[in-house]
Structure 1
Amino acid sequence: MSYLKNAWYLAAWDYEVRDKPLGRVIAERPIVIFRQSNGELCAIGDRCPHRFAPLHMGKVVDDVIECPYHGLRFGADGQCVHNPHGNGKIARAARVPEYSVRERHRGVWVWLGDKDQADTSLIPDYSIMDDTQGTGVVQDYMRAEANYQLLTDNILDLTHADYVHAGSLGNGSMTKTLPKVWEEGEAVFAHWWIVGEKAIPALARQLPDPEAPADQWLEVKWNAPGNMSLRVGATPAGRPREEGIDSTSFHIMTPETATTTHYFFANARQFRVDDPAIDQVLKEIIANQFLGEDKPILEAQQKMMGTTDLFSLKPVSLPQDVAAVRVRRKLEAMCAEENQ
């Protein structure tokens, strides 16, 4: 499978990389991430070139990482800096790949391609995560046995909520509403606006009158390769947005392999931001919805498809597929251009 190389991939939430190295496979590349004594992040290949042991099982010694098998040590540039055996001579081939890594918006981002092109400004702007007050940010990580583009499709086509999440996120209103889809630069947008209907259950319970008509918005923005923000809110029908509830969630799909995905989720809400009790409730709701509802159908979908490309199977098209198809075609073109 072809992956975009010159792009930022979310590799971990910041809290996942503390005192111990973290190993994570991204786009089929084993990578180890660790912190030096000053807190600076490093990301290098995770496979020791000697006997291919995973470096993340080792430890950080004097700001370099020591292989747990035979004690070779590797610096932030991937070069072996210490050989405890024999006369200590270091073989020229004793090195692993080096990756650019940045810490932004409570996440650890890794660039797989040319380091000279690793422009930090290309990391999606999720600064709302930094700006949200109190305990208003919830983060989680989950793994799925499905291709990352299937998980991306899942967010770009929210009509699935009426069926997969009936009773929690869906009440039938999404299916009869077509999204407005457009591009700005390399980003793709898909917006649903639902006017004068009962709010979906997850929003209705936060409104003054859950049974009254409401105006709702569900707004997705996609950035390559699988980074999406989803702004969701509702207000009593005819009232300004500011009088309702509003929150932004982040659904970031980082490919592990052709059939597995790292799913990073976060939510930054603009209501009850100083209520830690709702943090736990939201986290449980989100985990239950994905683990108990999305994950089974997506993994079953992957098994039905195998490793066959989606378009080669000639899928039947429905009106709500516009955003997902546009993103797939755009990503395909970006990969093709990179490989010229």
Structure 2
Amino acid sequence: MNGASDNVLTVLDQLPSGLLDLPAERLHEMLPGPTLIELPGSDPQPLFISVLLHGNETTGWDAMRAILKKYPRLPRTLYLLIGNVSAAARRQRHLPDQADYNRIWKGDGDGPEHAMARQLLHRLEQRPLFAAIDIHNNTGTNPHYACINRLNEDYLHLATLFSRTVVYFLKPDGVLSLALSRRCPAVTLECGKPDDAHGVTHVIEYVEAALHLSAFPEHEVAPQDVDLFHTVAVVKVPEQLSIGVDDPRADIDLSSAIDHYNFSELPVGTCFGHYRHGGDTALEARDELGNEVSGRYFELSDGRIYTRTPVMPSMLTLDTGIIRQDCLCYLMERLPLPTGE
């Protein structure tokens, strides 16, 4: 092992005995912190998979447990990163004194989590990865979908192997998939809520297909096989404002049905909830360049927050803790399928 700190990368060349018997909340009993396990396979070019970058998103680990129990020898070399085990022990996205494990991969930052990220990326620089898959859950009502950070064909093939719904984004720019997309086809999987058994089954099927994939198809992804969206803004609640759901005491009182808006093309005038402070800003929206664009997407009238233009949100949730830690939602628009790199 390379270290025993919660935020120092441990590197192993085999699975510790009994590791696959542990649910996510007990991994800290065997792993001292984020751990990269390098397992040989019949094809030597590694497939990189990361799970538990957020400690409360357990589908990836549950799926990998099942896959690794099934294969005495893998069809392809596998690099498995098991992320925030200390947060998983408490079933939290990340602990209060930690940076978000999926916002640390830009190369900047001087915290211990950022140092761990640089350690991993440096190690992976020496290895020609076949592809990279980062597995996540979300807390709202969302379909299963895949996210990519480049629009070339290999990335689209890797994404549509999981879902016809594909989201292209460049912000937030500290995510692991974006860092690895400079080196190999990379994808983030959003697998619904962590307590949904279908999410585990879907990921098992997908990872097994990726492990057996010898090369990416040379043909382009057909337009009828993909619904491609582009994230154009991230929406947050200002820190000084309180958040509630059907709570008239909160500064921002969200509708209890708001998470059902995900991946729906909302018309002008859709109500997101109520606001009760006296200012003219209830939600903050920033585009990919960091510009404040809330006035483009929202208007305030009679104490309510309405959409000003047709929008399609994703990641809307009723979990106010997640809203505070991350964001309220992302706003997307449809994107034509590119005809090449």
Q: TM-score, normalised by structure 2?
A: 0.24
Structure with higher RCO (Cα < 8 A, 6+ apart): 1
Q: TM-score, normalised by structure 1?
A: 0.24
Larger Rg: 1
Write 1 or 2 for the structure with the bigger share of strand: 1
